[in-house]
A and B are shown apart, each in its own frame.
Chain A
C-alpha cells in the first residue's frame, strides 16, 4: 500500500485566500484524522471521521475551518479565509476500526502551509 497520501506538500498563500488540503487514507481504514502541528501548540487534533462521518470536530479552531469526507478514499480540509496564524504543518492520519492494530495511526507526510 502507498500509505496515506497528502497534497499539496507545500502551500504558500496570501491572507484571505481559500486553502484546500487533500488526503487519501490507506485503503480499508475506517478512521481518518486531521491534525495541525506548530512549535507553539504541538500536535493538535482538529477533526476525525469514522466511516466517512465526522465524529468529533471540537478541535476545529474556528468557522473558517471545514472538513469533508465524501467517500472512503478522500477527505479535504478547507480554510476560508486563511490567516497568517493558520501557518502550520497539517497532517492526515488513518487507522483501522478493529483488529490487533486498531489503535495505531498511520500518518501522511503532511502539508506545510504558509500564509503571508
Chain B
C-alpha cells in the first residue's frame, strides 16, 4: 500500500493564487521529495528535503517537513496555468537503498 497520502486529492485555483498540498506518511524517513507529473508524462523531481530540515525553498516552491507529525506541505506561490499537473510526495527510509514510496497524489488545476 502507498505510504504517503496527499491531501487534497484535487485542487482548483485561479492563476496568481497560492496552492498548498499536504502529504502524510507512516514510518521514519531519511528524505522526502516532491514530484510533478503532467498529463501523459513521467514524473519530474521538484525538490528534496532531508529529515533534519524543516523548510526549504526553490523558486516559487516552499516545502515544509514536520517529522513529529509525519507530514509535509508543498506551497506553490503565484500559480500559473503551466503548474496544472499532479503532485506526488515520495519518501525513502534508512537501509532502503534508493527505493522511494510514493503518495497518492494531488491533482492541481490552475485556471486562467
Residues of A within 8 A of B (CB): 4, 31, 33, 42-43, 45, 48, 50, 55-56, 91, 93, 95, 97, 102-110
Q: How many A-B residue pairs have CB under 8 A?
A: 60
A42:B98 contact, CB within 8 angstroms: no
B42 touching A110 by the CB < 8 A rule? yes
Bound CA span A45–B101, Å: 8
Asked if A43 and B98 make an inter-chain contact with CB atoms under 8 angstroms apart, the answer reads no
Interface residues, chain B, CB within 8 Å of chain A?
2, 30-31, 33, 41-45, 48, 88, 90, 92, 97-105
CB distance from B45 to the nearest CB of A (A): 5
With CB as the reference atom, state the residue of chain B lying closest to A94.
Answer: B98
Q: How far is the CA of A100 from the CA of B43 in the complex (A)?
A: 19
Question: A45-B99, A56-B97, A97-B98 given. 11 additional CB < 8 A pairs?
Answer: A43-B105, A48-B99, A55-B97, A93-B43, A102-B98, A103-B30, A103-B48, A103-B92, A103-B98, A105-B45, A109-B41
